[in-house]
């Protein structure tokens, strides 16, 4: 055996070497403008092309699958706070929280500072084994504290009681994304059902227009891949229709082979016109789930980290047996999600819901920054969100022939437009004005503008956006 004379090469590599000199120059200038300009000045610039930013060669998206190429043509160059600059050099206010996952906006100062400091101290990015670092273990406890604050803050003494209790959300599974967290929750539900009911057929009671991720079974629960699955029943109930909910459960109360395994709800159906599920409806679902010895699951992948109580489950008096959280947990730094469940649902084998990125210390640090920031700003989030909804309702009253309704809860709001043609005009008009929103027309009957501004937004930001929306509504027909 000949010992090789070989050394792994180290070499100088810089950002502009990879992205190009002209792109890096434009990026630096755009970020400088966003970071150094007062918010009042940036608002005045929204909707304008920033000519001080040099032009640069732009790459197209032809290498992506066709479905990815369609939605937005003008991609992002730089972002800071609520604002972003596109590759066409237009300054926009992002009123979707970076497509629903940046509760703290772009480049939140505390988050950036903590992550840079962590690298200087040698904290690792990730380790794919059961040797989590301090940040990962701390985040697990902080998530448990956050999921149990519905009857008061959880201090160190109460945390010990919560960890040992049978009726508390006190076990977590750390995974990559919301889809995986939702899948892990579904697996725990199915493990329990199999242990209790052997070869009986599980029934999942869902909401019409639900969305719980992009894996096969989650998509089956919303009507896709019907030819792939047998021995499972999916019942889609009408949101907020208690009679329909009662009737659906009644179908399975006579002890037949089909038994209800779980009722699954998103507190706000962001993929179905931002419908807000009323508390009395959710409480009734919980009563029926207990009667049928079924699991109550809340999918908080969208609503989590936008509530003044961190999770909307806390606003619902802790009704959930299991919740899935993700998306906004790290405010865009790196994918990280969790299943949080009661002890009796801690029933999976070691590799049932294993995650490659389950021990990501840097991502966990980002999650801790998000949790601490929301706790410190709970009152601000509550007041701003309620003010935003009041302003949207006033907007509807000014334009009753164009807006058919306002849906959602606080920041998670839908503006329902009278028809698809006008919705498209409204959406384009908002983009032209520099207000970045999402248009939802792929659901039957939906002509909805979906909004989810970062929780750092204040009342002045709300006033600014409402003024822009009103101006667009004044001119479209």
Matching fold, domains 134-376 and 378-477: no
Model pLDDT, residue 441: 79
Per-residue pLDDT of 444-474, as tens digits, reads: 667 999 999 999 999 999 999 999 999 999 9
Rounded to the nearest 10 degrees, how much is the dihedral formed by the CA atoms of 320, 136, 165, 376? -70
Kindly state the average pLDDT of the residues 178-183: 94
How far is residue 108's CA from residue 102's CA, in Å, rounded to a whole number? 9
Top CATH class, 134-376? alpha beta
Assign 131 a pLDDT band (cuts: 50, 70, 90): confident
At 37 the pLDDT is 97
Segment 354-383, tens digit of pLDDT: 766 668 899 999 999 999 999 999 999 999
Q: What is the pLDDT of residues 290-329, one digit of tens each?
A: 999 999 999 999 999 999 999 999 999 999 999 999 999 9
Mark 308-346 as b/e (b = at least 16 C-beta within 10 Å): bbbbbbbbbebbbbbbbbbbbbbbbbbbbbbbbbbeebe
Q: What is the pLDDT of residues 81-114, one digit of tens each?
A: 999 999 999 999 999 999 899 999 999 999 999 9
Prediction pTM value: 0.94
What pLDDT was estimated at residue 162? 95
Rounded distance between C-alpha atoms, residue 214 and residue 68, angstroms: 15
Listed by start position, the domains of the chain span 1-94, 134-376, 378-477
Architecture of the domain made up of 378-477: Alpha-Beta Complex (3.90)
């Amino acid at each position: 055996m000949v010992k090789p004379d070989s050394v792994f090469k180290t070499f100088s590599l810089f950002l502009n070497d990879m992205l190009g000199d002209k792109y890096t120059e434009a990026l630096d200038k755009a970020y400088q403008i966003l970071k150094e300009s007062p918010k009042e000045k940036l608002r005045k610039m929204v909707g304008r092309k920033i000519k001080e930013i040099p032009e640069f060669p732009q790459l197209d998206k032809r290498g992506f699958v066709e479905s990815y190429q369609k939605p937005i043509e003008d991609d992002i160059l730089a972002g800071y706070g609520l604002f972003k600059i596109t590759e066409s050099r237009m300054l926009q206010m992002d009123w979707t929280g970076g497509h629903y996952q940046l509760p703290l906006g772009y480049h939140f100062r505390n988050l950036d500072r903590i992550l840079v400091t962590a690298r200087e101290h040698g904290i690792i990015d990730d380790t794919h084994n059961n040797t989590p670092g301090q940040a990962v273990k701390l985040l697990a406890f902080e998530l448990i504290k956050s999921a149990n604050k519905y009857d008061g803050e959880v201090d160190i003494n109460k945390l010990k009681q919560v960890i040992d209790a049978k009726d508390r959300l006190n076990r977590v599974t750390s995974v990559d994304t919301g889809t995986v967290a939702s899948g892990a929750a579904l697996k725990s539900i199915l493990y329990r059902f199999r242990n209790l009911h052997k070869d009986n057929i599980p029934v999942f009671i869902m909401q019409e227009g639900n969305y719980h991720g992009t894996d096969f079974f989650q998509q089956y629960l919303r009507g896709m891949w019907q030819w792939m699955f047998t021995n499972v029943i999916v019942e889609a109930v009408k949101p907020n229709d208690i009679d329909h909910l009662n009737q659906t459960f009644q179908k399975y109360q006579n002890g037949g082979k089909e038994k209800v395994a779980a009722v699954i709800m998103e507190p706000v159906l962001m993929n179905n016109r931002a419908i807000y599920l009323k508390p009395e409806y959710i409480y009734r679902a919980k009563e029926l789930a207990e009667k049928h010895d079924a699991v109550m699951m809340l999918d908080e992948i969208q609503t989590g980290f936008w509530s003044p109580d961190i999770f909307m489950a806390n606003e619902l008096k802790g009704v959930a047996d299991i919740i899935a959280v993700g998306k906004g947990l790290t405010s865009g730094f790196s994918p990280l999600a969790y299943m949080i469940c009661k002890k009796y649902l801690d029933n999976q084998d070691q590799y049932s819901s294993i995650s490659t990125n389950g021990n990501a210390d840097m991502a966990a640090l980002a999650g801790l920054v998000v949790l601490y920031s929301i706790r410190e700003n709970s009152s601000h989030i509550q007041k701003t969100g309620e003010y935003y909804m009041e302003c949207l309702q006033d907007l509807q009253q000014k334009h009753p022939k164009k807006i058919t309704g306002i849906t959602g809860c606080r920041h998670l709001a839908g503006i329902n437009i009278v028809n698809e043609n006008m919705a498209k005009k409204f959406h384009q008009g908002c983009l032209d004005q520099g207000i970045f929103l999402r248009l939802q027309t792929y659901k039957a009957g939906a002509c909805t503008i979906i909004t989810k501004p970062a929780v750092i937004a204040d009342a002045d930001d709300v006033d600014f956006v409402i003024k822009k929306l009103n101006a667009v509504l004044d001119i479209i027909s």
